Structure 1
Amino acid sequence: MSFHIRVFQGIALSCCTLLGGYAMATPWSDMAKQDLQALHDILSENHPGAVDEENTRFRRWLADGLEAGMRDAEAAASLSDYRTTLLKYTNGFRDNHIFLVPRADMLYRRWPGFTVHQDSEGRFLATLSEVQEVPDGAQITRCDDVMLSVRLDRDLAPVSWNPDVPHRKGRLAPELFFLGMDVEPPASCEVVVDGVVQPVDLAWRPLPREEALEKISLARGANTPPFGVRSVSGVWFVSMPHMGDVPEDFFTDLEASRDRLREASHVVLDMRGNGGGNSQHGARVLSILYGEDAVGAIVGSFDWTVDWRASPGNLAELRKQTFRGEQFFDDMAASIEAGRPFHRTSQPPTATAEPGAASPFSGKVFALTDGACASACLDFMDVALRLPGVTHIGLPTSADAVYIDNRSERLPSGLSVISFGMKVYRNRVRANNEYYTPSLRWPGGLMTDEAVAAWVKELN
């Protein structure tokens, strides 16, 4: 039995397991259509954007995106087609908190032994190459006579890129050479080596999904540090690669190092690789370094007022969160009964951040980000950049929509789960899909500790 047959049998078995006998009788086109309609209905009934007077684009896309998706669904003939159809719809809302969670996926991708990254001039350069004819750094211009820029715009941008965050588009480039097993790959590419253009036939081969994801991350230049407080060539790093399950030892070490950090000539608040988690962890780091009063004054100066989408489905989910209290549930139920689209929870500013306060640090303090900074990492930056003497360096961050506090629903096919926000921030300090641009931009190359330390010591 060939590898390809085993993979597709695995997909079929997964679908059967999830859908019972119905899956075998339902073509991909029909499954895409029913799940698209379900996506539309779930979001219409439960997402705050569907009734948000401040975001008319969201409401237009509910209808326009569904119409376009139904046209795409007509041609769906594989799992990849099904998923692409749904992703185009969800991505079109420009809300990073609307996302699909697959319940059936291929265990393998395929690649030709190399991939690409996009440089500052927009060129697609080979990286991670295991192919002699395609050395690292060689320029790949086109495959099967289609420019790579066209492939990126056609195949990847519609499902993964938010045009409100333009600098994120180039991060998609490595995915061009990691394809689903049911996608027809290009047969050859045009490669430029030392100014000489030559065609190279591609030999695609399977790669475990997790290994493919790791290679994509490496091709993007990811250099995620471990948690820790350490000195590299005289520059101190406070590294926090995520805000999920943060080890308590990290906070203990940070408290023990506080006086030394405050006396250091250069301190880097290192957010490389940090895609978010629990924002309380970031606030705790800043409170240890700057004091609870300083951080509390900044956080207290923010307006945390939110509107919850008033719907029976959302209320049922929120009732599982008993800490909210019966009054909250009663008020939301009353909004639903009265036909009001939202239940508001007002939380206006309670403090005023003191302008011009002195920094407790005698040296320079930098907040370092790469393109991964999102969600709770952005919450961290909201506060850090308002503390005295902190300079943002590195690369522009990602961005967040103002819709948050997610819940999930399974789609009719059983192949996917949709996750979406139930509330909208009304006066968030950072606007919808706003990102942070560093005052001092990383000059390029891999962000290793040594390279960052050498660069930081040259900054004024």
Structure 2
Amino acid sequence: MIMLDEVNPSYRAWQAKGYKIATERAKEVDGPNSYLDLLSSYVVGFRDPHFFINSRIDRPVEWPGFVVSLVNNKAVVIFGDEADASLPPVGSIISACDGETIETLVTKRVFPIIFDPRTVLGQRQAVSRLFLDFKGGLTPAVKACDFQQGESRWSRTLSWRSIPKSSEHFWSRTLVASAGAPAQFGVTFPVEGVAWIGLPTFLLDPTTQPKLNALFDQLTTTSEKMLNGRAIVIDLRGNSGGDLEVPAKFAEAIFGWRAILRMVLSGYGTSTDWRASPDNLAYVQTLWQNPRMRDIAKRMTLALTRSEAFWREGRQKTSETYGLTKRRPLASRRGPFPARVYILSDGTCISACLAFLDIALQVPGTRLIGADTGGDTGYTSVRSETLPSGLTQFSFPVTYVHKRGRGPMEIYKVDVAYSGVRHDEFVRRWALDLVLRETDTTR
């Protein structure tokens, strides 16, 4: 859609400028790992989460014996190799490395290759990524850092080493350090009158669809009890979207049909441009089990026979709308039902997850806690192409959605922020304490 998109000319500009920069940097490439960084730097330049690459290249990774997390806006050691007593202790703060601040280093070494500096999630991920050395790439590893803990100050040269043999455990802990622990599917009642809904994805694939179906069934049988209780916590940690048909279904199951009607009456009906090409048509035809996709395939076929660049689904006359994130009802307002609603975010929320928030955060009294959301644009419906090497897939959107209410990279700002260590038990305890404190009717 980039070449047809008149709303976001920056994409077309980067497609040309970024390619020129990448071809100039190609002389720095000396193997598959540096080439992968070169591809990544081009793709990340679009600054859109619906453009990304996945690679099967088995790339060696080293760590300095400890993992770093952004905690209270400081780079903090949160776990390390217990067999190495020379390492900085857990809780140590890293103030600078190689003579530069952490903020300067991630700007120079991480953001040109991966992640988005405009989001709180991207900032957290970048700090953790700075202390991993993906060997053979275009970015040099940090050499020496300045540490502090309490009144103690010291400097040390980092000792890079292979990641632990139990790499699955290592990567799961690293994920918690950077993005945070994801929500767990299901409805639980950790305290009488408080419902906790774990909703970590809207993706309908063979693994997640049975879990989403089971969760939906739970919600339909417990919704009245939840709405008449003390509070509802909707845990969206780890949710980076999925199928766009799912959010409204779950919003209605939790809040009732009036929540959906509120958005419809607000005038945020959308139009979607589907890029008509033989390969895009072939992709849509693989989704034939969905009746809507069968209809879209027919329409795209007709557009191709007419040599039309795209087929427009929905309203034929489009207009862009912005500022929905700023037009939320006040979180302090009384809601339409007894329970106070809290949505727990860790910053991963984009795409279909944001579509869910477009409904949920228009319900009066709903509070967003934890972290600012991510952001996206009208580019959606991602498919992938394997590059000629067979080692890497490039994923990109084939549609553009008009009149969503949110403009490009509009982010929902948090009402109450959490900036501590993102272990699951820490975040859950913080959120539950906040909920109980704010809904205590005896105070």
Q: Per the shorter chain, which TM-score range?
A: 0.7 to 0.9
> Residue 157 of structure 1: SS of its match in structure 2?
coil
Letter of the aligned partner of 2:48 in structure 1? D
> Does the alignment pair 1:441 with 2:424?
no
> Does the alignment pair 1:196 with 2:152?
yes
Select the residue among 259, 262, 269 that pairs with 2:224: 259
Alignment map for 1:3-14 (pairs within 5 Å): none
Q: Distance in 1 between matches of 2:245 and 2:296?
A: 23
What is the CA-CA distance between 1:438 and the residue it aligns to?
2.0
What is the CA-CA distance between 1:377 and the residue it aligns to?
1.5
- Residue 129 of structure 2 corresponds to 175
Higher helix share: 1
Select the residue among 186, 189, 203 that pairs with 1:231: 189
Select the residue among 76, 87, 101 that pairs with 1:125: 76
> Does the alignment pair 1:241 with 2:220?
no
Q: Distance in 1 between matches of 2:133 and 2:109?
A: 11
Q: Distance in 2 between matches of 1:137 and 1:400?
A: 34
Query: Greater shift after overlay, 302-311 or 339-348?
Result: 339-348
**Structure 1 residues 457 and 426 mapped into 2: Cα distance closer, same or farther (>3 Å)?**
same
Q: Distance in 1 between matches of 2:178 and 2:161?
A: 21
Q: Distance in 1 between matches of 2:160 and 2:346?
A: 31
> Does the alignment pair 1:311 with 2:277?
yes
> Does the alignment pair 1:429 with 2:387?
no
Query: Greater shift after overlay, 293-302 or 264-273?
Result: 293-302
**Structure 1 residues 150 and 257 mapped into 2: Cα distance closer, same or farther (>3 Å)?**
same
- Counterpart contact for 1:227–1:240, Cα < 8 Å: yes
> Residue 380 of structure 2: SS of its match in structure 1?
strand
- Residue 410 of structure 1 corresponds to 386
Select the residue among 173, 176, 191 that pairs with 1:218: 176
- Residue 438 of structure 2 corresponds to 459
- Counterpart contact for 2:341–2:365, Cα < 8 Å: yes
Q: Deviations over 1:233-267 (max 9, x none)?
A: 44321221222315233233323322321221222
- Counterpart contact for 1:393–1:442, Cα < 8 Å: yes
What is the CA-CA distance between 1:99 and the residue it aligns to?
1.0
What is the CA-CA distance between 1:326 and the residue it aligns to?
7.8
> Residue 356 of structure 2: SS of its match in structure 1?
helix
Q: Deviations over 1:14-54 (max 9, x none)?
A: xxxxxxxxxxxxxxxxxxxxxxxxxxxxxxxxxx1222111
- Residue 18 of structure 1 corresponds to none
Letter of the aligned partner of 1:292 in structure 2? W
What is the CA-CA distance between 1:454 and the residue it aligns to?
0.7
- Residue 271 of structure 1 corresponds to 236
What is the CA-CA distance between 1:174 and the residue it aligns to?
0.8
Q: Deviations over 1:109-154 (max 9, x none)?
A: 2112112222344x32222123544112212233344543333112
**Structure 1 residues 332 and 259 mapped into 2: Cα distance closer, same or farther (>3 Å)?**
closer
Q: Distance in 2 between matches of 1:87 and 1:415?
A: 14
What is the CA-CA distance between 1:335 and the residue it aligns to?
4.2
Letter of the aligned partner of 1:448 in structure 2? V
Query: Greater shift after overlay, 155-164 or 337-346?
Result: 337-346
What is the CA-CA distance between 1:212 and the residue it aligns to?
4.4
- Aligned pair count reads 406
Letter of the aligned partner of 1:430 in structure 2? R
> Does the alignment pair 1:101 with 2:67?
no
What is the CA-CA distance between 1:173 and the residue it aligns to?
0.7
> Residue 158 of structure 1: SS of its match in structure 2?
coil
Q: Distance in 1 between matches of 2:11 and 2:135?
A: 33
TM-score, normalised with respect to structure 2 = 0.81
Q: Deviations over 1:360-397 (max 9, x none)?
A: 52131122211122222111111111224322222101
> Does the alignment pair 1:341 with 2:327?
no
Letter of the aligned partner of 2:76 in structure 1? L
TM-score, normalised with respect to structure 1 = 0.79
Quick check: which has more Rg, 1 or 2?
1
Query: Greater shift after overlay, 62-71 or 142-151?
Result: 142-151
- Residue 115 of structure 2 corresponds to 161
> Residue 112 of structure 2: SS of its match in structure 1?
helix
Consecutive unaligned residues of structure 2, counting only runs of 5 or more, are 318-328
Letter of the aligned partner of 1:229 in structure 2? V
What is the CA-CA distance between 1:156 and the residue it aligns to?
1.0
Letter of the aligned partner of 2:88 in structure 1? V
What percent identity do the matched residue pairs reach? 27
Q: What RMSD, in angstroms, separates the aligned Cα atoms of the two structures?
A: 3.0
- Counterpart contact for 1:165–1:433, Cα < 8 Å: no
- Counterpart contact for 2:351–2:380, Cα < 8 Å: no
Q: Distance in 2 between matches of 1:148 and 1:344?
A: 46
Letter of the aligned partner of 2:105 in structure 1? R
- Counterpart contact for 2:120–2:371, Cα < 8 Å: no
- Counterpart contact for 1:94–1:164, Cα < 8 Å: no
> Residue 155 of structure 2: SS of its match in structure 1?
strand
Alignment map for 1:79-118 (pairs within 5 Å): 79-106=32-59, 108-118=60-70
Alignment map for 1:292-441 (pairs within 5 Å): 292-296=257-261, 298=263, 301-322=267-288, 323=291, 328-329=296-297, 331-333=299-301, 335-336=303-304, 340-347=308-315, 361-441=337-417
Q: Distance in 1 between matches of 2:58 and 2:405?
A: 38
What is the CA-CA distance between 1:275 and the residue it aligns to?
2.0
- Counterpart contact for 1:262–1:360, Cα < 8 Å: no
What is the CA-CA distance between 1:331 and the residue it aligns to?
4.9
What is the CA-CA distance between 1:273 and the residue it aligns to?
2.1
Q: Deviations over 1:280-336 (max 9, x none)?
A: 443333222332354255357532211122333323433444445787556545544
Q: Distance in 2 between matches of 1:229 and 1:276?
A: 19
- Residue 7 of structure 2 corresponds to 54
Q: Distance in 2 between matches of 1:390 and 1:427?
A: 23
Q: Distance in 2 between matches of 1:99 and 1:271?
A: 22
Letter of the aligned partner of 2:129 in structure 1? E
Q: Distance in 1 between matches of 2:93 and 2:109?
A: 20
Letter of the aligned partner of 1:303 in structure 2? G
**Structure 1 residues 271 and 186 mapped into 2: Cα distance closer, same or farther (>3 Å)?**
closer
Letter of the aligned partner of 1:119 in structure 2? V
- Residue 324 of structure 2 corresponds to none
